[in-house]
Every structure is written in C-alpha cells, then in structure tokens.
Chain A
Amino acid sequence: MEDSVLTNGKTILETRALVAGFDGKDIVKSVSLAVPEGRITAVMGPSGCGKTTFMRCINRMHELAANAQVSGEVLLDGEDVYRINPILLRRRIGMVFQRPNPFPTMSIYENVVAGYNLNGARMSRVERDRIVEETLRRVTLWDEVKDALYRRGTFLSGGQQQRLCIARALAMKPEILLLDEPTSALDPKATAAIEELVVSLKGVVTIIQVTHNIPQAARISDYTAFIHLGELVEFGPTKTLFTVPKDKRTEEYLSGKFG
C-alpha cells in the first residue's frame, strides 16, 4: 500500500455541520468533513452509526425517503449541492450499492451506458462502443464479457455484477464515486478483486467508501473517517488513525470493543 501522507491535496468535497435523519430523529449529528481529491476516503463505524445516511446526503439520495430531513452544507468544489439540480448533481457523483443491481432488462452493454441512455444523451455508435470498452477494461471485466456484451447481465457472478455496477457509475465520468459497502455481499475472492479495482481508481476519481470492515479500510484507503453515533469522532490519514488514534473511542472500535 502506498504511503498515504497528507499531501496538501485539494479538497473536493466538504460537509459543514451536516445533520440528517428521519421523522424528527437525527441520525447524522453535525458532521464536518473535508474529503481530499483523488484519494480513497473510508467512512467507517459500527452498524447504525449513520455512515450510510451521511453518504447518501452527498448525492442527495437521502432526501428521497419519506420524512427525511437534512440541514447543514455539502459543498462540491465549493458549490452547495443543495442548490444544484439533484439530477445534474447525480451525474457528477456516482454511487455503487451494497448488493449488485444491474438493470435486469438491459444487456451488459446497455448497463454500462445506462446513465447516458436513460438521460437521452445523443451519442454515435462509435462513441458508445468506445465508452463501453474503455470502462469495462478499467474495471477488468472486458476480457470476461467481450463476447457476451449483448446478453443480460444476470448470468454474471456476484463479483462480476458488482464490477459491472461500478462500470455503470464510472461511465458517467463522475468526480466522486460513492461506494456503499460494495463487498459486503460478495465472497472473499470477489472482494479482493473489487478492492484491487478500487485502489486502481486512485487519481482517476475521488472515492468515498462506507465500510464496517476495519481491515478493508486499513488495506485500501488513504484517509479514514470514523463515525460513531452520528458524530465524526476522528478523521485523518489511514496509517496514522490506525496506528496512533487520537480519540479513545477510535481506539476501542479498532480493537473490536464494539461494532
């Protein structure tokens, strides 16, 4: 793993006093976090600590739920995301979900360019082909599916399906990629493949990955944010946070005392 020193990188995403929850109950309680560009930032914490809710505020998926409330600021490149049209925002921020969910009525090819097709983008066939091949190569799926591009994606294994979903998100060339525990439904071999893929995307896109898998966070991320009971307990370069955590709660979590 490359030495993750905080090289005063530019902050691409910043949350300021972000509060979010449902039905009057706050799950995320004032989180202020600055995410560095081009790096992998892990957001970890025990179940129910609010890490997924936090992440879903970034691409404004949280507000889709009934009775959702949110306050505070989320700045993408300095712009308040709550002032941007959510549809446009979501084209700049991609998301991959816990369980692989390729669109079942579309072929692998169509799944990769689904973001374009569904938005009615006009592209030439050549351009589409290029994006499909490029993106599938990027997620190391090209060789495995290049002869089956027009088949539905449902015959693929879980790991392959998840890579397809990552491809689908990457094809939009987002600035940030949000990964919500992307390997929790996969077997160890597939998990390793995904981790390798994520690490290879460093520098190409900023990655924020929610995980409750501590070793995974240690393996792949450059920075780690530890969230507990809705609060940001600690944030810093992964190496530092894991070896010399500043907060007692972080230490306890890392040693398995709870979560």
Chain B
Amino acid sequence: MADTHNGAIGAASTPVRKMDAAVTARLRGDTAFRVLMLALSFIAIVPLALILVYIVVRGASSINWAFLTQLPKPMGEAGGGISNAIVGTVILIVIASVISIPLGILAGIFLSERSQSRLGTVARLSVETLMGIPSIVIGIVAYTWIVKPMGHFSSLSGGVALAMIMLPVITLATEETLLLIPMTLREAALALGVSYPRMITRVILPSGMSGILTGVLLAVARGAGETAPLLFTAFGSPFMAANIFKPMESLPHTIFYYATSPYPEWQALAWGASFVLLVLVLALNVITKLVTSRWKIQF
C-alpha cells in the first residue's frame, strides 16, 4: 500500500521529496475520491429512503379497519376505503398466476434441459425479449386480444396482461435455478433406471424448488405493482370485484386514480393505498430472501 511506502522513506534527497510531495497529493486525492463516492451514494439513496419513510408515516395513519374493508365513497365525501382495490389485485394476480406459473416453469425446464438446441436459443431469446417489453405495450396487446373482441374491459384481460409480464420472470428464474443443479444428480437418478420424466419431476424440480419459488414471488411482486397494462384492460371500478368479465379495480390503479385527482380526501386514499402496496411488495421481497436462505440447497 502506498501509505507504508511513504512512511519508510526519509526526506533525504530532492527527487524523493518530490515523490513524497506527489504522494501526499495523491493520497489527498484518494480521500477526496472516497468522500465523493460516499456523497454521491448518499444523494442516491437517502432522498428516496426519506420519502419512503414519509409514505409509511402518512399512509399508516390512513390505515384502519374501515379503510381496508370499505368501498370508496363518491367524490368529495370523506372516508371510504380500498377494499375493492385489494380484492381486485388479489384476483388479478390469481388469474395471472394460473396462466404464467405452469407455463413459466415448463418453459424454464425446457430452457435448462435443451439450451443447446436451436429451439432452445430461440426460446431463450424470446423470453429475454419478453422480459424487456414495456408493460404498456403488453397492455395494448391484451387489449387487442381480449378487450376489443369482447367489447368491454374485464379483469380477465388484465390478468392475461399481468401473466405476460410475470411469465419471463418465472421462466428465467426457473432456468437459472435448474442450471445450477449439477449433472451428476441427473446421472445418479438415471443410473438407477429412473425414467426421464420422473428424474425431472421427482429429483430435479424438488431440488430447485427454492429458486423457483423465489422466481414466482418476485414475479408476483412485479405484477402486483404494475399499473400501465391495466389502464385499458381491467380499467378500474368503484365497485367490489365480482365478475372476471367486468372491469375491476386494483391497488396500483387506485393509487394512480386518486393521486392525480384534485380532491384531498381521495389523495388521502392514495397515500393509504401506497402504503398497502408498498407493504405487500416489500413483504414479498423479504419472504423471498427468507425462502432462499432457509430452503436453498447449495451444490
């Protein structure tokens, strides 16, 4: 390290003194650099952290039993709740999961088993591209596939849109997890005379379960927070969710709708809804970490 070098040399001759002086300047520059990095990082994280704290504090004050179980009141009236939004988000995620989880895991297994084949490369490219498609574009597609033919908004179309957003997350997480499982485990099963399907379903999948579960949880966290694809699929509704062929309210949409409204009562609803959504998303992330640390099998 430059420090010891500096300390060991005496101030005997001029060239050495010059080098000493240069070293001092460089060391000062080093400290300045470190301070700069710290400062910039501070600017990067702290404002947002503070804001989140504000949301928690402000939003938490809106939370009470009525808030969580009532429907929103008409404009101008105080009170009301977001029960329809909470139920709506749950239903939308359920619809999306039913579609995306089986297909996602299947495609993930395919990618991990047949990555060398031509279809494997095409499929992987497709999934990675799907991952990067702006969610509003997904919303347009779900609109043309379901809303347009049906003639009206529906939570079914919203669920389909969210499924398309969740699918690549689950697929890539599954593939990544399964690729980490060493070949010898597969061989051990095959050497016992176990058939290929059983080897995959009874040995490989269980071994990768924690990673797959992580992928699912992350996908759900992402899907629950998306608003854009719901704008013209599930749309929104002041009523309780009941019918998948009708429009449905959701947490993110509620936040958007009430935050951009001019009524303070509604804005208060938006703070509360933001709090609930944040808690949901952060809880999912924390659960993901727990799953990984407790269930993950290290190879």
Contacts of A64 in B (CB 8 A): 187, 190
Flag if A87 contacts B185 (CB, 8 Å). Answer: no
Q: Which residues of B63-97 are within 8 A (CB) of A?
A: none
Known: A61-B187, A101-B184. A91 touches B193 (CB 8 A): yes
Query: What is the chain B residue whose CB lies nearest that of A65?
Result: B183
Known: A97-B184, A118-B198, A119-B198. A91 touches B206 (CB 8 A): no
Query: What is the chain A residue whose CB lies nearest that of B198?
Result: A118
Flag if B188 contacts A101 (CB, 8 Å). Answer: yes
Flag if A114 contacts B184 (CB, 8 Å). Answer: no
Q: Which residues of A120-169 are within 8 A (CB) of B?
A: 120, 165, 168-169
Query: A16–B246 Cα gap in the complex (Å)?
Result: 71
Known: A118-B198, A120-B198. A103 touches B187 (CB 8 A): no
Query: A168–B187 Cα gap in the complex (Å)?
Result: 13
Q: Which residues of A238-259 are within 8 A (CB) of B?
A: none
Flag if A103 contacts B194 (CB, 8 Å). Answer: no
Contact bitstring B6-28, A, C-beta under 8 A = 1, else 0: 00000000000000000000000
Flag if B184 contacts A105 (CB, 8 Å). Answer: no
Known: A66-B116, A101-B184. A118 touches B191 (CB 8 A): no
Q: Say whether B202 faces chain A, with CB atoms less than 8 Å apart.
A: yes
Query: A197–B185 Cα gap in the complex (Å)?
Result: 23
Contacts of B198 in A (CB 8 A): 118-120
Flag if A168 contacts B297 (CB, 8 Å). Answer: no
| B185, B192, B194 pick with most chain A CB within 10 angstroms | B192
Q: Say whether A202 faces chain B, with CB atoms less than 8 Å apart.
A: no
Query: A61–B186 Cα gap in the complex (Å)?
Result: 11
| B182, B185, B194, B299 pick with most chain A CB within 10 angstroms | B194
Q: Say whether A38 faces chain B, with CB atoms less than 8 Å apart.
A: no
Contacts of A105 in B (CB 8 A): 203, 206-207, 209, 297
Q: Which residues of A162-199 are within 8 A (CB) of B?
A: 165, 168-169, 172
Query: What is the chain A residue whose CB lies nearest that of B195?
Result: A87
Q: Say whether B103 faces chain A, with CB atoms less than 8 Å apart.
A: no
Flag if B203 contacts A103 (CB, 8 Å). Answer: yes
Flag if B188 contacts A103 (CB, 8 Å). Answer: yes
Q: Say whether B189 faces chain A, with CB atoms less than 8 Å apart.
A: yes
Query: A103–B187 Cα gap in the complex (Å)?
Result: 11
Query: Contacts A105-B297, A115-B194, A117-B202 given; 20 further ones with Cβ under 8 A?
Result: A59-B191, A61-B191, A87-B194, A89-B193, A90-B191, A94-B192, A95-B187, A95-B191, A97-B187, A101-B182, A103-B188, A103-B207, A104-B299, A118-B198, A118-B199, A119-B192, A119-B193, A119-B194, A165-B188, A172-B192
Offer 13 A-B interface pairs, CB within 8 angstroms, sorted by A.
A94-B191, A97-B184, A97-B188, A101-B184, A103-B188, A103-B207, A105-B209, A115-B194, A118-B194, A118-B199, A119-B198, A168-B188, A172-B193
6 nearest interchain CB pairs?
A91-B193, A90-B193, A95-B191, A115-B192, A118-B194, A105-B206
